[in-house]
């Protein structure tokens, strides 16, 4: 496998900290959320960083390469355009599914608005490998894929995460983006040993590493990207460094941004962790020299270790909980009839792995993913074999994230509805799946309230009606009409 150029130490670029990022000392590169930049209108801050020689890598969140459908050609073309506009040496995405249903399963299409885990089965691996090869053929630079954090585990999984990733690399030649914070998350939430996962990985395939913070609540680790990096995550980074010198390491911070000095200090801690003399942990020494790929997986199965990182995991103290950073989405704003959407049926799925062998792998995977996503976002019964408590946690997390993102893409809604916005939205989200991105979701939510005769206050209901009409109509009202409405609303509030 051809060695990639070194990236060095970087940080996730976000508009809220753009100025601070430009001033960070010794910054080698930044990562941008691909869907948040437009090739013809790059942020001025990104332009200045590029002029200084800072590498910019786009990080996609919407391809859904772990889904049952083949990758969308338009999304691939958009991602390729961003790669070329940024002059990026590589591009990254996730091993996850973000949508399900549709023609493949003869059920309504559903959007998660979040990265959901792929079952580690032969079916899922076969589909993922084909999807990755399609993406590789469409992108002008090497592709790296990230391991994700998960609250839930699929029943009947056939491989560990390390073996799943090793076989993916062996079959496609794809690079890996290893998120050590996600390894920690999966240790707390799913009982998976991060040391064993690292032992099974083909470390020569690592393109770069993510480092991020989070916190524990009620026995569940939330990968918030809004808290300082805990010691346990740095310990896993050190474990990884004992096996290889990664080409790049990046700090992710997506919300509740700290002062510039704290960001600089966290980057310096990451640099020191990677630059520290390599220490072989007891677990590493017990295994001796490492191979790669499926050989490593086989050795790990034959001689499992007692990884010290997993035994030494600690949880940082924190008083508050921040929601996970939103994954961006786009949507059209065309109007539709003011009628409640139909109930979403739960797709039929095989009751056990291997049942229904006459179905192609894509359809079997599609049915399973649609059943899970329908339970998470549409209120249908949970598929057999899942942990009911963890599913409830995931349902609440998805609904809370939707509420937060809708409030950002449509800030007028919390302003119009006041304290009633969040409880009304969470009630709506219990059985109303997102159908076409967050902007469409904001319109659907407003329409749902209006059809039900809410809000009860006539002035608030009138304001919400005007807001919905301005955005849902085929043609927006003229400026004079909007001005008169705004003036009337101001007079009423006064």
Tens of pLDDT, residue by residue over 72-99, are: 999 999 999 999 999 999 999 999 999 9
Instruction: Give the bridge partners for 9, in sequence order.
Output: 249
Paired sense of beta strands 175-179 and 107-116, if any: unpaired
Contact 352, 324 (CB under 8 A): no
202 vs 243: CA distance, rounded Å? 10
3-state secondary structure 367-385: HHHHHHHHHHHCCCCCCCC
Beta-carbon contacts of 392 under 8 Å, excluding residues fewer than 6 positions away, are: none
Contact 382, 392 (CB under 8 A): no
The token pair at 4 is 């990639």
Paired sense of beta strands 97-102 and 107-116, if any: antiparallel
Tens of pLDDT, residue by residue over 152-188, are: 999 999 999 999 999 999 999 999 999 999 999 999 9
Beta-carbon contacts of 3 under 8 Å, excluding residues fewer than 6 positions away, are: 247
Q: Residue 34 carries which DSSP code?
A: G
Buried b (16+ CB within 10 A) or exposed e, 68-91: bbebeeebbebbbbbbebbebbbb
E-state strands within 162-202: 175-179
Residue with tokens 């460094």: 241
pTM of this prediction exceeds 0.85 = no
The pLDDT score that the predictor gives to residue 293 is 38
442 vs 428: CA distance, rounded Å? 11
Query: Which residue positions in the chain have pLDDT lower than 50?
Result: 283-346, 348-357, 477, 491-492
Alpha-carbon radius of gyration of the chain: 23
Phi/psi at 157 (5° precision): -70, 150
Contact 105, 372 (CB under 8 A): no
């Amino acid at each position: 496998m051809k060695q990639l150029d070194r990236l060095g130490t970087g940080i996730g670029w976000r508009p809220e900290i753009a100025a601070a990022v430009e001033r960070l000392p010794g910054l080698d590169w930044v990562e941008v959320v691909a869907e948040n930049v437009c090739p013809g209108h790059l942020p001025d801050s990104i332009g200045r960083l590029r002029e200084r020689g800072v590498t910019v890598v786009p990080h996609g969140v919407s391809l859904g390469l772990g889904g049952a459908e083949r990758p969308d050609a338009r999304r691939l073309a958009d991602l390729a355009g961003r790669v070329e506009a940024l002059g990026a040496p590589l591009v990254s995405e996730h091993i996850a599914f973000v949508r399900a249903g549709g023609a493949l399963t003869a059920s309504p299409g559903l959007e998660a608005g979040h990265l959901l885990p792929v079952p580690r089965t032969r079916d899922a691996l076969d589909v993922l490998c084909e999807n990755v090869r399609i993406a590789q053929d469409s992108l002008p630079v090497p592709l790296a894929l990230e391991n994700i954090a998960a609250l839930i585990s699929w029943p009947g999984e056939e491989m560990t995460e390390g073996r799943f990733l090793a076989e993916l690399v062996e079959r496609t030649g794809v690079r890996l983006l290893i998120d050590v914070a996600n390894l920690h998350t999966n240790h707390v939430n799913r009982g998976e040993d991060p040391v064993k996962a690292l032992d099974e990985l083909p470390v020569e395939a690592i393109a770069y590493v993510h480092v991020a913070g989070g916190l524990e609540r009620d026995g569940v680790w939330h990968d918030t990207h809004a808290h300082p990096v805990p010691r346990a995550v740095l310990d896993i980074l050190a474990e990884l460094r004992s096996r290889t010198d990664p080409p790049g390491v990046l700090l992710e911070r997506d919300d509740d941004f700290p002062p510039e000095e704290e960001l600089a200090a966290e980057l310096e801690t990451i640099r020191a962790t990677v630059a520290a003399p390599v220490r072989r942990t007891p677990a590493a020494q017990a295994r001796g020299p490492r191979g790669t790929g499926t050989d490593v997986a086989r050795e790990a199965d034959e001689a499992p270790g007692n990884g010290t990182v997993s035994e030494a995991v600690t949880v940082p103290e924190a008083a508050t909980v921040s929601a996970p950073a939103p994954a961006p989405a786009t949507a059209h704003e065309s109007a539709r009839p003011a009628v409640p959407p139909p109930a979403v049926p739960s797709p039929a799925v095989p009751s056990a792995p291997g049942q229904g062998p006459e179905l192609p792998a894509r359809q079997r995977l599609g049915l399973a993913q649609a059943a899970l996503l329908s339970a998470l976002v549409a209120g249908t019964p949970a598929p057999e074999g899942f942990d009911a408590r963890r599913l409830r946690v995931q349902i609440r997390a998805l609904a809370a994230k939707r509420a937060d993102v809708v409030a950002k893409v449509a800030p007028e809604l919390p302003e119009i509805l006041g304290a009633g916005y969040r409880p009304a939205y969470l009630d709506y989200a219990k059985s109303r799946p997102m159908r076409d991105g967050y902007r469409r979701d904001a319109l659907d939510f407003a329409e749902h309230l209006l059809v039900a005769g809410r809000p009860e206050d006539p002035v608030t209901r009138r304001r919400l009606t005007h807001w919905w009409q301005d955005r849902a109509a085929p043609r927006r009202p003229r400026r004079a009409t909007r001005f008169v409405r705004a003036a009337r609303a101001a007079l009423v509030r006064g």
